Structure 1
Amino acid sequence: MKREYKNNDVFHVIEEWAPKHLAYDWDNVGLQIGTYNKTVKKVMIALDVLESVVDEAIEKKVDLIIAHHPLLFNPVKRINLDTPQGRIIHKLLTNHITVYAAHTNLDVANGGVNDMLFDLLGIVSRDNLTEVSRQKLYKIVVYVPATHVDKVRSAMSEAGAGHIGNYSHCTFQTNGQGTFKPLEGTNPYIGTKNELEFVDELKVETIVQEKRLTKVINGIIDAHPYEEVAYDIFPLENQGETFGIGRIGTLSATMKLRDLCEYVKSTLKVPNMRVIGDLDKNVRKIAILGGSGEKYIHLARQKGADVYITGDMSFHVAQDAWQMGLSVIDAGHYIEKVMKQATKLFLEKELDNNLIEIITSETNTEPFQFI
């Protein structure tokens, strides 16, 4: 039973959900400032790491900040305490607060930021706006004495192997006979040194996603009675889980663009927004990309979207969308704040709440005002 969590334990849980390799190559995700090894009792989820957010973390005695937007994008050439960045770094280090960022990997991940927005808006029949990655699949085969086959098979399944569609714990096993000769320096579970041993064994095989492969191997080794565990790993051509940027789907019923704007404002708690298109137009098919999504307007149109919900639209790109007949709701970059509560709920589900407290930042980091 775990008695405490280290920062790295929390990082591992986040990366099971949003692996770092899903991040864009220009991004900077993962540990930003701090340590992997410090005990963590209180985590705060934030959209940004501004000085006001750090002050909030200090006041609330937070050990770890999980942020969506990275604190450090570019190499730091100097730490000047007269600048906002310098003060932030100084406060974090002197108060022993670690910062970790899950950015474009959390945008791309299934269940990530764009799915969070879809869930809140009740959009159904979703698909990726564009695919960026596909999970690799492997077959793992292990040879186990009959006395321990249930224990090893259970360990494989609990570590995440054996998922096919909506089925879990999928394995196949065959009976056979294993041979081995323990040599000098061994301490065999079965058999005698320098004598050939014949053992009734079962070959257990199953499928596993690449991101869970190491965890499954470790589970097998921990559950297996032998000093040296015999297992094989085969790459598969089967199609694994897909990951994409943005989502596209349909509303449960057609509505006017004007009404959709009011619905988005109310649901996502956006006080004001910019809109491109005929407000009296009927719309149903919706594309969403949280953050800055203007470079995907042509793809949204090609996929048949009536409306594209995103942020940070520039003037000429907005004109292009208008001319091609694509309605756009620029709800702002700040709609990504939905990640705070959703990430809190995810971590509370995955971690022992008796050992660690998860809170969300209450600091408003939206820089724009409308007058």
Structure 2
Amino acid sequence: MTVTVADLIDIMDQIAPPDLAEEWDNAGLQIGRKDWPVKRVWVSLDPIPLVVSAACDAGIDLLITHHPLIFKAPKSIDFATPLGRIIQQSACCRLSIYSAHTNLDAAADGINDILADQLKMTDTIPLVEGSAGTGTGIGRVGTLARPTTLGALAREIKETIKVPALKYTGSKDLPVRRAAVCSGSGSSLMGAFFASGADVYVSGDLKYHDARDVEAAGLGLIDVGHFASEHLIVDILVERLTAEAKKRSMPLSIEACPLETDPFVSI
């Protein structure tokens, strides 16, 4: 059977329904054609030039990413710019790029649920309920499997998600039982965290004044970084896509892009 980009989009739409995406987001097909045939698929966090160039060299037909290639409609496509070069190269190599962004954040068993699972959280609910309801929404809040301290939790997270370093705010001896998480950039959900009754907030891209506010409230904050809080979806998405393709008898090779690293280097 001939598998097309549309067939993979159908699977992704089940994993991360498009109607869960935020209004400002641009999830979906970024470049390519739905009727193009697909034999090889890569999954990555970002459609950066390194990844796109390597995908073209490797003969990849479809690149599925978390972050969209295009957030706002460009006024021109200049092939001398990074975006223009990606579009030019993808078109010439017949590489389609599809992104599942905030819909994958919000979905049941999406990135936020996976991050909560990494912390062994139970009885989780969305930190901010989505319009679709039914347990979907941005972030998660729930109860840790066992009470611990902020310092011990920070060390456990560092080992579990394998980051070289992380930052935390609050007393290392602060008792923590309930936690809130938000994958990616969580600064905009600080108000939801304070209202949630959680003892600690785990996210990325947190700001100086976020830390000061948490400090003043006698709570805890753990910043694991944007990349680390989201890249954990890549291997899991490969597993889910592979299982679904097998169920549908689709002859596909689906792999995680082996090239991505955190753009921030810890020294």
Instruction: Using structure 1 for the length normalisation, give the TM-score.
Output: 0.69
Q: Which runs of 4+ in 1 moved over 4 A?
A: none
Q: Which one has the bigger strand percentage?
A: 1
Structure 2: 5+ residue stretches without partners: none
> What is the aligned partner in structure 1 of residue 234 from structure 2?
340
Q: Do the aligned partners of 1:133 and 1:242 also contact (CA within 8 Å) in 2?
A: no
Match of 2:193 among 284, 300, 320: 300
Q: Tell which structure's C-alpha radius of gyration is larger.
A: 1
Deviation at 1:320?
Answer: 1.6
CA distance in 2, matches of 1:305, 1:42: 43
Relative to 1, partners in 2 of residues 1:14 and 1:354: Cα closer, same or farther, differing over 3 Å?
Answer: closer
* Aligned residue runs from structure 1 range 68-147, under 5 A: 68-134=66-132
**For each residue in 1:303-343, what CA deviation from the matched residue of structure 2 results, as whole angstroms up to 9, or x when unmatched?**
21111001111222221222122211011100200110111
CA distance in 2, matches of 1:242, 1:330: 25
Q: Does structure 1 residue 322 correspond to structure 2 residue 215?
A: yes
Q: Do the aligned partners of 1:131 and 1:243 also contact (CA within 8 Å) in 2?
A: yes
Match of 1:242 among 118, 128, 135: 135
RMSD of the TM alignment (CA)? 1.4
Q: Do the aligned partners of 1:131 and 1:244 also contact (CA within 8 Å) in 2?
A: yes
> What is the aligned partner in structure 2 of residue 273 from structure 1?
166
> What is the aligned partner in structure 2 of residue 358 from structure 1?
254
Report SS of the residue matched to 1:129.
strand
CA distance in 1, matches of 2:74, 2:35: 23
Q: Do the aligned partners of 1:115 and 1:247 also contact (CA within 8 Å) in 2?
A: yes
| % identical equivalent positions | 38
> What is the aligned partner in structure 2 of residue 311 from structure 1?
204
**For each residue in 1:142-177, what CA deviation from the matched residue of structure 2 results, as whole angstroms up to 9, or x when unmatched?**
xxxxxxxxxxxxxxxxxxxxxxxxxxxxxxxxxxxx
Deviation at 1:301?
Answer: 2.3
Deviation at 1:89?
Answer: 1.3
> What is the aligned partner in structure 2 of residue 156 from structure 1?
none
CA distance in 1, matches of 2:117, 2:54: 29
CA distance in 2, matches of 1:363, 1:309: 26
CA distance in 2, matches of 1:60, 1:261: 39
> What is the aligned partner in structure 1 of residue 46 from structure 2?
48
Q: Which one has the bigger helix percentage?
A: 2
Relative to 1, partners in 2 of residues 1:73 and 1:365: Cα closer, same or farther, differing over 3 Å?
Answer: farther
Deviation at 1:365?
Answer: 4.1
Instruction: Using structure 2 for the length normalisation, give the TM-score.
Output: 0.94
Q: Do the aligned partners of 1:43 and 1:65 also contact (CA within 8 Å) in 2?
A: yes
Structure 1: 5+ residue stretches without partners: 136-240
